[in-house]
């Protein structure tokens, strides 16, 4: 009887889980919801099923573009000459013509807002020299992120054999893109204009209608092909909490929005985020042997946050700072240790990397000699 009871309980738990999944995203073949700062998954439905992503592919394309900009390889003000290949792209486009010149910022807006296939091909050629080299970089980036169920054939998402991803992998890419916060300046636009070299303008309207109609939504990317159905990767922020959702293969754009709203409502109504420390909070100091500075301040690499149910009682947190043995030179932003967040029973709830924000070089012989002299004259032990 005890065994039968256990089996019934297990069956009941599976049944409840499946009902819950159907209630939150009944119109999508696959879906996932997570909180961005912690990465905690709040809901999923067949999140590892390989499906065509359509124009959600451009999340990875925008990630490579933003990485090129942040690394200094590319600038928002750089000019891009439109090739025959770019101008000939079908599907959603912003009507670029061969030989026209646009700034990177303008093409990025065309990708983020209007899902321009011509714009993303032009940027792929600018970043990597060719579309094939850019696609190779896309797959290399996917591999570096640990995405084992993703493979790209093009940078735009038009139907192609062996071009696929999953809701879970899509959420990882999107979360990585959100580290480049300036992308939200583009994805949050509901409408804008692209001024063409001949003086005319193209009206750009965001394919993500939730940007206008759901509080807090400021990205990220829609998608549709006959093969992929209606897809959308969405992010929304209310207060300190940012959620990220993915739905794949809904039958209509209204149904993909309905499932997205259902998941976001669930996340915002059920959970809350405690921001314990900001990334600008000073955690302490540490000495640097043989550095051009003797002491450097320590900071968390990112905001220190804890996600919990809105109904949970308040918790008193404690911290344990662990600093590595440091050797110069040290780069600005280099990880030099970690911070443990502890609950009232001293259980480790999470770990956050600790960094220094200044560049520290080797001390010169003059600096070392001067310090030695100060120690001698001060009577300090050598």
Cα atoms in the Cβ-side hemisphere of radius 13 Å centred on 207 = 26
* φ and ψ at residue 380, rounded to 5 degrees: -80, 150
**Residue 186 neighbours by CB distance under 10 Å:** 19
141 is known as an active-site residue = no
User: What is the CB neighbour count within 10 angstroms for residue 306?
Assistant: 19
- Residue 40: active-site member: no
Indicate the SS3 state at residue 20. Answer: helix
Helix, coil or strand: residue 161: coil
Cα(342)–Cα(351) distance, integer angstroms: 9
Q: Which one, of 232, 184, 193, 236, lies nearest residue 213 by Cα?
A: 236
How far apart (Å, rounded) are the C-alpha atoms in residues 141 and 169? 12
> 224 with 54: CB under 8 angstroms?
yes
Residue 358 in tokens: 């200044």
SS3 string, 249-291, reads EECCHHHHHHHHHHHHHHHHHHEEEEEEECCCCCCEEEECCCE
Instruction: Please state the φ and ψ torsions of residue 88, each to the nearest 5 degrees.
Output: -90, 0
Cα angle 251-254-256, degrees, rounded to a multiple of 5: 60
For residue 183, which of 134, 126, 246, 233 has the smallest C-alpha distance?
233
Q: Which of 92, 115, 128, 245 is catalytic?
A: 115
**Angle, CA of 234, 235 and 237, to the nearest 5°:** 150
Residues 58, 109, 126, 221: which is the catalytic one? Answer: 58
Per the annotation, the verdict on 357 as an active-site residue is: no
The one catalytic residue among 28, 30, 55, 83: 55
Q: Provide the residue count of the chain.
A: 382
Of 256, 276, 295, 288, residue with least CA distance to 341? 276
Q: How far is CA 108 from CA 69, 96, 152, 317, 358, in A?
A: 11, 13, 20, 42, 32
Residues designated catalytic: 55, 58, 115
């Amino acid at each position: 009887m005890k065994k039968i009871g256990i089996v019934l309980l297990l069956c009941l738990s599976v049944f409840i889980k499946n009902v819950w999944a159907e209630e939150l995203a009944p119109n999508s073949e696959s879906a996932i919801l997570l909180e961005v700062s912690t990465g905690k998954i709040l809901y999923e439905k067949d999140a590892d099923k390989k499906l065509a992503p359509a124009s959600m592919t451009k999340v990875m394309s925008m990630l490579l573009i933003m990485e090129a900009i942040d690394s200094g390889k590319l600038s928002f003000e750089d000019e891009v000459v439109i090739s025959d290949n770019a101008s000939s792209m079908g599907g959603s486009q912003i009507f670029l013509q061969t030989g026209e010149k646009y700034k990177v910022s303008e093409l990025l807006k065309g990708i983020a807002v209007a899902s321009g296939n011509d714009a993303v091909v032009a940027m792929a050629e600018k970043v990597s020299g060719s579309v094939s080299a850019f696609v190779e970089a896309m797959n290399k980036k996917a591999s570096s992120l640990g995405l084992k169920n993703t493979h790209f054939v093009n940078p735009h998402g038009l139907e192609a054999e062996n071009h696929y991803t999953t809701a879970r992998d899509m959420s990882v890419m999107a979360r990585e893109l959100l580290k480049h916060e300036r992308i939200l300046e583009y994805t949050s636009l509901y409408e804008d204009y692209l001024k063409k070299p001949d003086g005319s303008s193209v009206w750009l309207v965001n394919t993500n209608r939730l940007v206008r109609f759901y509080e807090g939504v400021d990205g990220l990317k829609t998608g549709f092909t006959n093969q992929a159905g209606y897809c959308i990767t969405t992010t929304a922020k209310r207060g300190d909490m940012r959620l990220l959702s993915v739905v794949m293969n809904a039958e209509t754009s209204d149904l993909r929005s309905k499932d997205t709203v259902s998941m976001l409502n669930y996340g915002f109504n059920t959970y809350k985020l405690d921001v314990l420390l900001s990334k600008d909070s000073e955690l302490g100091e540490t000495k640097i042997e043989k550095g051009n500075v003797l002491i450097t301040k320590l900071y968390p690499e990112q905001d220190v946050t804890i996600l919990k149910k809105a109904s949970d009682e308040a918790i008193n947190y404690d911290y344990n700072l662990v600093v590595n043995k440091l050797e110069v030179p040290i780069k600005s932003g280099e990880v030099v240790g970690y911070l443990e967040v502890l609950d009232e029973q001293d259980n480790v709830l999470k770990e956050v990397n600790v960094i220094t924000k200044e560049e520290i070089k080797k001390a010169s012989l003059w600096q070392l000699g001067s310090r030695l002299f100060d120690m001698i004259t001060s009577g300090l032990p050598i």
